[in-house]
Amino acid sequence: MDERVYELLNDQMKKELYSAYLYMSFADYYEDEGLSGFANWYMIQAAEERDHALIFRKYLLDNGKSVQLKGIDQPDKTFSNHLEPLEAALEHEKYITGTINDIYTAALEAKDYRTMKFLDWFISEQQEEEDNAEKQVSRMRLFGNDAKALYDLDQENAARVYAVPSPLANA
Ligand code: OFO
């Protein structure tokens, strides 16, 4: 495997684990705010991010590469209203989309078609994650100032259930 592609895949594991850590901090904020549905949403999001890291880990191991676990930063977000974590999540997902695109570009340049194919799942996943994050932002902007509507949004988020991502389910 091309050295740069390898490094980027390895770094992505850390970024996905940081995403899990970040979303857990959002869940903690919402728990403190009494919005346990939003907390549920972000704990499931955190579980998905950990799974994303495991998918990269498996890909490296399946391709005979060693895994290098690197240090994970402390999330430094503090929030002053219910909208801010949702906006931070959208911004973060766009950043992660950029990092996936960077690996794809490196794989293309290295003619590493296998890695490009592997990344296809993540490219679709990022579109879904950005869509979900955008939906959370717009619904909070529209309805977040109304107590009954906020309660309903919280209930909706409470209904989210964890599902194993297909690359791990089929592993
Ligand atoms: Fe790993 O998908 Fe969000 O960041």
DSSP string, 84-141: HHHHHHHHHHHHHHHHHHHHHHHHHHTT-HHHHHHHHHHHHHHHHHHHHHHHHHHHHH
Contact 45 CB / ligand 1 (< 6 Å): no
Contact 16 CB / ligand 1 (< 6 Å): yes
Tokens 């996936």 belong to: 100
Q: Report pLDDT for 77.
A: 76
What's the rounded Cα separation, in Å, for the pair 69 and 48? Answer: 18
Contact 96 CB / ligand 1 (< 6 Å): yes
Mean pLDDT score across all residues of the chain = 96
Q: Per-residue pLDDT tens for 129-151?
A: 999 999 999 999 999 999 999 99
| Cα-to-centroid distance, 36 and ligand 1 (Å) | 21
Contact 51 CB / ligand 1 (< 6 Å): no
* Residues 6+ away with beta carbon under 8 Å from 86: 133, 136, 137, 140
| 23: phi then psi, degrees, rounded to nearest 5 | -70, -30
CB 12 within 8 A of CB 49: no
Q: Per-residue pLDDT tens for 81-114?
A: 999 999 999 999 999 999 999 999 999 999 999 9
Burial class (CB in 10 A: 0-12, 13-18, 19+), 31: middle
Q: What is the largest CA-CA distance in the chain?
A: 54
Ligand 1 atom with least separation from CA of 93: 4
Band (pLDDT 50/70/90 cuts) for residue 41 is very high
For residue 118, give the amino acid letter: F
